[in-house]
Amino acid sequence: MSEKTTFTGHRGLDHEEQLIFERGRDAACGVDLPAPDSVATRLGGMERNGSVGLPGLSEPEVVRHFVRLSQKNYAIDAGFYPLGSCTMKHNPRLNEKMARLPGFSDVHPLQPTSTVPGALELMSELARWLMELTGMPAVAMSPKAGAHGELCGLMAIRAALEARGEAGTRTRVLVPESAHGTNPATAAACGFTVDAIPATEDGRVDLAAFEAKLGDDVAGIMLTNPNTCGLFERDIRKIADAVHEHGGYFYCDGANFNAIVGRVKPGDLGVDAMHINLHKTFSTPHGGGGPGAGPVVLSEALAPFAPLPYVTSTGGELKLVEDEQSSDADPFGRMVAFHGQMGMFVRALSYMMSHGSDGLRQVAEDAVLNANYVLASLKDVMTASFEGPCMHEALFDDRFLKGTGVETLDFAKAMIDEGYHPMTVYFPLVVHGAMLIEPTETESKETLDEFIGCMADLARSAKAGDKARFENAPELTPRRRLDETTAARKPVLRWTPPAPAQAAE
Ligand SMILES: *Cc1c(COP(=O)(O)O)cnc(C)c1O
């Protein structure tokens, strides 16, 4: 490794980037306008005395700063992104082209609906695909992410319980311990008590423990299928029937729908509500917090409570229902200011239509095949957490690192030196030192072979005692190990200019 220092502090073409405030000059300005004629102030003494404190830079300096920052981002367009549970798949350029058609990209949410029939038709067509693929009779399109969809689903459940006069008594929501953190968080945010269901040795819901928890105070269950261990919950029908027999509802976390799309209809599994992460299953871009879209499909029992606004079709004419007075159902309210993520809707529908029904089925099959290829290729050098094949993601734990002094985190950091974004680590919590790998259907065998080769090499070198390769990793990045906990707990979000005394030194 080169420890060479450079005059500039840059390493090759990888620039050491200052903050824009550190770089800016007070007096500099990117534009060159004549000074205005002096005008009498009308601010009545409220005008600012000091400078605004904006960094002064020329246009090329600003452009270069932000372009260089953007190049420091790792992205699915830059390389393989094996993050389990996040479904980072290639976003086809066709989707982007469609989303940029002015008729979609330039619509304004406050335009009269008579001027946007195409947008309404697209929303209604996407809704039709989602209902067809899930075998469910209704869908709420407006939620803006998976977690927002969970909120929508649980609010619909609460509205249904209120209509039955049981909202006060049904207060408990069952959530398997392998669940994504958003599940218990959503249930708690909706005022329910969260009751965790343990997992069995084979990574699925413990049916006996689940049955023992059923009772008159249960509002429902939130279950992910395939679950976050990448495994299909074989008892899902039994679970759905038992919840229904006890008067509860079945919320399915559909974030992993990409493993079963075109093969299984959640409606056949007894689901009452399920969010679909368009940004996972249907390829719309995500990462860094958005944008996403989390439409929620609903059963007959919950459909009347779907939130406003929604598109209906009467005699072939599409209408946007925006308020309770014009609704003939019982909406629980509204979740967003407008209609949902139009750009994501266009991309998702493009993806669906360009694949067709047979292509979508192949998406699931290839995603599962790729994950199993990774699992089978690495299970002898790493340790697979569960016996047998997986669905769309392969779960390993840290047993293969036992006694090496290398931990899951070190292993992940060493992957960065090799040019790989690490997989999801320490999630799900049900296995020790988890490493969750989701290749998705968009990666070629060659890409997977390179990745597998690298992972196997790292695993062998950890076992051979080459601790140095891990404990200092990453060594080839502009920054090494960060104190991520402090960064998350005490983020420094505001730049403060250096004190004048220090500057004078
Ligand atoms: C991604 C994910 C969520 C949350 O979805 P967001 O769109 O990120 O809000 C919920 N559950 C599971 C299993 C997920 O993978």
Measure the CA–CA gap between 276 and 283, rounded to whole angstroms.
12
| Residue 68 included in any domain | no
Higher pLDDT, 40 or 175: 175
Q: Does residue 494 lie in a domain region?
A: no
Contacts with 410 (C-beta within 8 Å, 6 or more apart), sequence order: 470, 471, 473
Q: Is pLDDT at 205 greater than 90 in this prediction?
A: yes
- Do 246 and 288 share a domain, yes or no? yes
- Whether pTM exceeds 0.85: yes
Instruction: Tell which of 299, 319, 352 closes a domain.
Output: 352
Q: How far is the CA of 334 from the centre of ligand 1 (A)?
A: 21
Residue 504 — pLDDT band, cuts 50, 70, 90? very low
For residue 83, being part of any structural domain is answered with no
pLDDT at 94: 97
C-alpha–C-alpha distance, residues 405 and 73, integer Å: 30
Q: Which residue in the block uniquely carries the two structure tokens 């099959």?
A: 365
Ligand 1 mutation target, pool 86, 178, 253, most atoms within 8 A of CB: 253
In a domain, 217, yes or no: yes
Domain presence at residue 32: no
Please tell me if the CB atom of residue 182 comes closer than 6 angstroms to any atom of ligand 1: yes
Ligand 1 neighbour 146 (Cβ under 6 A): yes
Does 505 have pLDDT greater than 50? no
Average pLDDT across the chain, whole number: 94
Is the same domain home to 198 and 324? yes
Q: What pLDDT was estimated at residue 47?
A: 87
Tell me if 296 CB under 6 Å of ligand 1: no
Do residues 47 and 41 touch, judged by C-beta distance below 8 A? yes
Residues 442 and 333 in one domain: no
Average pLDDT for 375-379: 98
* Residue 339 shares a structural domain with residue 481: no
The first and second tokens of residue 362, run together, are: 């192949």
Largest CA distance in the chain: 82
Shortest CA distance to 90 belongs to which of 78, 72, 105, 73?
Answer: 78
One DSSP character per residue, 189-211 reads: HTTPEEEEEPB-TTSSB-HHHHH
Domain shared by 173 and 317, yes or no: yes
Q: What is the mean pLDDT of residues 363-390?
A: 97
Q: Does the beta carbon of 385 sit less than 6 angstroms from any atom of ligand 1?
A: no
Structural domain contains residue 78: no
Q: How far is the CA of 465 from the centre of ligand 1 (A)?
A: 37
Residues 141 and 160 in one domain: yes
CATH number at residue 474: 3.90.1150.10
Q: What is the DSSP string of 266-323?
A: GGGGT-SEEE--HHHHT-----TT------EEE-TTTGGGPPBPEEEEETTEEEEE-S
Instruction: Kindly report, residue by residue over 395-426, the tens digit of the pLDDT.
Output: 999 999 999 999 999 999 999 999 999 999 99
CATH value at residue 151? 3.40.640.10
Residue 295 maps to a domain: yes
Q: Is there an atom of ligand 1 within 6 Å of 277 CB?
A: yes
The share of the chain scoring above pLDDT 70, in percent, equals 98
**Domain of 344?**
94-352
Q: Give the pLDDT confidence score for residue 73 in this predicted structure.
A: 84
Kindly report the protein residue whose alpha carbon is nearest to atom 3 of ligand 1: 146
State the distance from the centre of ligand 1 to the C-alpha of 94, rounded, in angstroms: 25
Where among 352, 387, 421 does a domain terminate? 352
The protein residue with its alpha carbon nearest to ligand 1, atom 2, reads: 255
Tell whether ligand 1 has an atom less than 6 A from the beta carbon of residue 292.
yes
Question: Do 86 and 290 meet the contact criterion of CB atoms below 8 Å apart?
Answer: no
In ligand 1, the atom with minimum distance to the C-alpha of 150 is 10
Same domain, residue pair 341 and 412: no
| For ligand 1, atom 6: residue with the closest CA | 146
Domain assignment present for residue 24? The answer is: no
Query: Do residues 296 and 187 share a domain?
Result: yes
- The pLDDT of residue 287 is above 80: no
Residues 336 and 397 in one domain: no
Which residue, judged by its Cα, is nearest atom 5 of ligand 1? 146
* Ligand 1 closest atom vs CA 228: 13
Q: 234 with 293, same domain?
A: yes
Confidence of residue 288 (pLDDT cuts 50, 70, 90): low
Q: How far is the CA of 360 from the centre of ligand 1 (A)?
A: 20
Tokens of 319: 């209408």
- Reduced to 3 states (helix: H, G, I; strand: E, B; else coil), residue 76 is coil
Average pLDDT over residues 333-346: 94
Domain boundary among 317, 352, 387: 352
Q: Residue 180: what pLDDT? A: 95
| Dihedral class, residue 261 (left if φ above 0, else alpha if ψ from -120 to 50, else beta) | beta
* Count of structural domains, the chain: 2
Answer yes or no: do 269 and 251 share one domain. yes
In whole angstroms, how far apart are CA 224 and each of 78, 147, 192?
A: 30, 13, 18
In this structure, are 294 and 362 located in the same domain?
no
What is the tens place of the pLDDT at every residue in 137-158?
A: 999 999 999 999 999 999 999 9
Question: What is d(CA 73, CA 67) in angstroms, rounded to the nearest whole number?
Answer: 10
Ligand 1 centroid – CA 148 distance (Å): 9
Mapping DSSP to helix (H, G, I), strand (E, B) and coil, where does residue 334 land?
strand
pLDDT at site 185: 98
pLDDT score, position 496: 87
